[in-house]
Amino acid sequence: MRKAPDSLDVWAAYQRGLWHLSKASPDDNDIAQDLFQQAIDLDSTFAGSYSALALVQLQSAALYQKLDPTEAQRSAEGSARRAVVLDAADAQARSCLGWALQARGELDGALVEIERALAMSPNLAAAHGHRGATLIFSGRPKVGLAALETCIRLDPRDPFMSVRLLHIACGLYFSRESDATVAAAKRLILSYPDFPMIYRWPAAALGQLGRVAEAKEALQKAIALAPASFDMYVRRRVPWFRPEDHAHLLEGLRKAGWKEQ
C-alpha cells in the first residue's frame, strides 16, 4: 500500500502545489516548487512530494528557463530516485523517474520506468502522458498521440494538461499533419492563453502549409513571448529531440520566414 503523508499540513502543501502547477504560468510554477519543498520539509518520508518537486523542476527549466537545464535534470533525477527509494511500489514515482530520464535524452531507459509504472497502475494518467511524449520523441508519434489521448481521457483535470496539449501539437507536427497541428495549437491557446511555448509549432505548420502571413504572425509571437525558449529549442537542440525531428521543425520555421543568425 502507498504510504500516506503523516499530517494534513503535508497533504495541503502538496495539493496546493498541484493546483498552482495546473495554472501553467511561471509565477505559479515557482509557488508550486516552494510548496512541494515545504511538504518535504514537513515530512521527508512522503514520496509524492519528491515526485512532484522533480516534475516542477523539469518544467521550470524546459518551459520557463528559470533553472539551468543540466542542473534541473540532475536535481530532478535525484528527487525522483529518492521517491522510488521511499516507495518502490509508487507508480507515480516510477513514472516521474522515467520523465527525468527522458529530459536527459535517455529515451529507452525512460520507457522502461514508465512501463513499470503502468504495470503497477494501468490507469495512471500521468504515466500515459509521459509515455506518449517519450514515444513521440522516440520517433513513434502515432502511438505517442494515442497514449496522450488516453492520459487526457483518464484525467481531464491533469495538472500538466497544458504540457499534454503541447505534446499533442508536437506529435502531430512530427507526423507531418500540419492542419491538425494548427488546430491542436488553437486548442491549447484557448485553454491557456498565457502559455508561451506553443507558438513555434503553428508557425512551423503554417509555414509548411504555405500560409505565410499567419506563419509569420505565429513566429513573431514565438520569439517575442519566449525568446529564451526559442533559443533553447530552435537555435539549439534539446537532448530529447532527434536530429531529424529538429531539422523538420527548422524547415517549417524557415518557410515561416525565420532566418538563422
Q: Which domain holds residue 189?
A: 178-261
From CA 200, how far away is CA 257, in angstroms rounded? 12
Question: Residue 87 is placed in which grid cell?
Answer: 516507495
- Summarised one tens digit per residue, pLDDT across range 207-217 is 999 999 999 99
- Got the DSSP string for 226-257? -HHHHIIIIIS--TTS-HHHHHHHHHHHHHTT
Residue 103 in any domain: the answer is no
Q: What's the whole-number average pLDDT of the chain? A: 92
Residue 238 in any domain: the answer is yes
Residue 22 in any domain: the answer is no
DSSP-derived 3-state class of residue 261: coil
Residue 183 in any domain: the answer is yes
H-type alpha helices, 161-242: 161-174, 178-191, 200-209, 212-225, 227-230
The CATH number of residue 238's host domain is 1.25.40
pTM here is 0.88
Residue 55 in any domain: the answer is no
From CA 251, how far away is CA 114, in angstroms rounded? 32
Domain count across the chain:
1
pLDDT of res. 1:
45
Q: What is the mean pLDDT of residues 91-102?
A: 93
How many residues are present in the chain? 261
CA distances from 166 to 74, 115, 132, 179, 186 (A): 24, 22, 12, 15, 10
- 68 — pLDDT class (breaks 50, 70, 90): confident
pLDDT of res. 29:
87
CA distances from 134 to 8, 130, 143, 171, 201 (A): 34, 6, 10, 10, 18
pLDDT of res. 6:
64
pLDDT of res. 206:
98
- Summarised one tens digit per residue, pLDDT across range 1-51 is 455 666 678 889 999 998 998 887 888 889 999 999 999 999 999 988 999
pLDDT of res. 66:
72
- Summarised one tens digit per residue, pLDDT across range 132-153 is 999 999 999 999 999 999 999 9
Residue 145 in any domain: the answer is no
Residue 241 in any domain: the answer is yes
Residue 165 in any domain: the answer is no
% of the chain residues with pLDDT over 90: 72
